[in-house]
């Protein structure tokens, strides 16, 4: 094709200006590198949080910020005591990070590879950086991540609300308190059969809402698991999380094959590398940003699980609205969501994704949708 000399001049001018603009941006970014900062923070729980073998009233977290071009991206590492990371280990990991070699916060893939290569593990610390980078880069583009990912926020599911282990009377009272505000409840089992059944009966005596059951690796044999699942199915349970110990995959596969309810991996799945190995063993996976290293890995896990024909659940720890808003960006992809973490604390220092009558309502603000 012959290009008219005048059009050719415009083309050269535009391409030339594009190149100059690119180099000016790179120079600007080099002169104004991303600045990472962080502080420890302690979440106060509204109620004592009890699971089968422990209880607590606080959760330590580390809040991160990445500053660039006058914008701030926010992130968070949640550090429940049953996991190996602490505020000290997160600080130690964050001190090693040098983001000045990256020109652009949107180079999320390259920055992830750099972070992941610094040291093994430290997944919550990596998530705290990855979430802040997503928030920052979304703000620089001017769009929320659910939109950048092509997801419809109207498709965000209901979140479960966890009824903690307690006496029958307290369980009934707590269930009555929340039953009209939520559409699905979550129960953590894993004590004796009588105690587990007593917990479900207590809820059923005051509410007919569907129940999501987290067995927390508590059942020991295929027969025991299937008996409980059959009974729970009759009682209106809709899914089971981690029925047996995390490495007991052969037995879990047998449970999944015979179960009336979908079986989700939680402790058996940590990151992206685990997903493909769990096809045929579990019906689905519970993705948590603190386990997998943040939003980019979670996005990849959710898409891989869907490609493999597996179901997706998005879960959380006790977290502020920062990490909950980050996880909620993915939630339109999920079959189940357990994003009640910020509702369980009394000192949330962010406002973002809200839970309205049990439904996850993702903010339309850019990045992860936080209002500072």
Binding site for Mg ion (CB under 5 A): 214, 241, 266
By beta-carbon proximity to Mg ion, the closer residue of 132 and 287 is 287
| CB 65 within 8 Å of CB 38 | yes
Residue 16 beta carbon to Mg ion: minimum distance, rounded to whole angstroms: 56
Instruction: For the CB of residue 92, give the shortest distance to Mg ion in the complex, in Å.
Output: 27
DSSP code at position 159:
B
Write b or e for each residue in 104-132: b if 16 or more Cβ atoms lie within 10 A of its Cβ, otherwise e. Answer: ebbebeebbebbbeeeeebbbbbbbbbbb
User: Toward Mg ion, which CB reaches closer, 85 or 266?
Assistant: 266
| Shortest Å, Cβ 288 to Mg ion | 9
DSSP string, 99-145: GGG-S-TT-HHHHHHHHHHHSS--HHHHHHHHHHHHHHHHHHHTSBH
Instruction: For residue 194, give Cα distances in angstroms to 109, 189, 197, 198.
Output: 49, 11, 5, 6
Compute the least distance from the CB of residue 267 to Mg ion, in Å: 7
Q: Are 123 and 274 in contact (CB under 8 A)?
A: no
* Residue placing its CB nearer to Mg ion in the complex, 97 or 263: 263
Q: Which residue is nearest to Mg ion (CB)?
A: 266
> Cα–Cα distance between 266 and 240 in angstroms, integer?
10
Complex with Mg ion: residue 134 or 186, whichever CB lies closer = 186
Least distance in Å: CB of 309 to Mg ion?
22
User: Please, what is the minimum distance in Å from the beta carbon of residue 30 to Mg ion?
Assistant: 44
Distances in Å between the Cα of 270 and the Cα atoms of 54, 83, 123, 148, 256 are 22, 12, 9, 25, 19
| Closer Cβ to Mg ion, 85 or 241, answer by number | 241
Question: Of the two residues 76 and 214, which places its CB atom closer to Mg ion in the complex?
Answer: 214
């Amino acid at each position: 094709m012959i290009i008219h000399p005048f059009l050719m001049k415009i083309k050269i001018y535009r391409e030339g200006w594009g190149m100059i603009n690119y180099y000016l941006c790179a120079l600007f970014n080099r002169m104004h590198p991303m600045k990472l900062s962080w502080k420890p923070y302690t979440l106060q729980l509204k109620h004592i949080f009890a699971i089968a073998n422990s209880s607590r009233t606080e959760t330590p977290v580390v809040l991160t910020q990445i500053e660039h071009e006058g914008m701030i991206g926010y992130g968070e590492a949640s550090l429940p005591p049953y996991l190996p990371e602490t505020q000290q280990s997160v600080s130690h990991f964050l001190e090693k990070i040098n983001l000045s070699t990256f020109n652009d916060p949107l180079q999320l893939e390259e920055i992830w590879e750099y972070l992941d290569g610094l040291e093994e593990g430290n997944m919550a610390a990596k998530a705290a950086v990855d979430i802040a980078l997503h928030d920052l880069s979304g703000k620089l583009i001017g769009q929320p991540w659910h939109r950048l990912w092509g997801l419809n926020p109207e498709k965000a599911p209901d979140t479960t609300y966890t009824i903690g282990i307690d006496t029958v009377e307290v369980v009934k009272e707590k269930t009555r308190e929340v039953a009209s505000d939520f559409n699905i409840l979550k129960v953590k089992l894993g004590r004796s059969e009588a105690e587990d059944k007593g917990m479900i009966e207590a809820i059923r005596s005051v509410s007919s809402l569907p129940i999501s059951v987290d067995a927390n690796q508590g059942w020991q044999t295929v027969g025991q698991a299937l008996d409980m699942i059959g009974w729970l199915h009759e009682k209106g349970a809709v899914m089971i999380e981690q029925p047996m110990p995390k490495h007991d995959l052969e037995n879990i596969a047998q449970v999944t094959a015979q179960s009336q309810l979908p079986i989700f991996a939680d402790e058996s799945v940590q990151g992206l590398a685990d997903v493909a190995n769990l096809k045929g063993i579990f019906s689905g996976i519970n993705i948590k940003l603190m386990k997998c290293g943040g939003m980019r890995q979670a996005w990849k896990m959710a898409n891989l699980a869907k490609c493999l024909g597996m179901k997706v659940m998005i879960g959380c720890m006790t977290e502020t609205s920062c990490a909950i808003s980050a996880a909620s960006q993915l939630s339109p992809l999920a079959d189940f969501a357990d994003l009640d973490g910020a509702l369980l604390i009394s000192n949330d220092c962010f406002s973002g994704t809200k839970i309205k009558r049990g439904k996850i309502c993702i903010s339309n603000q850019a990045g992860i949708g936080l209002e500072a």
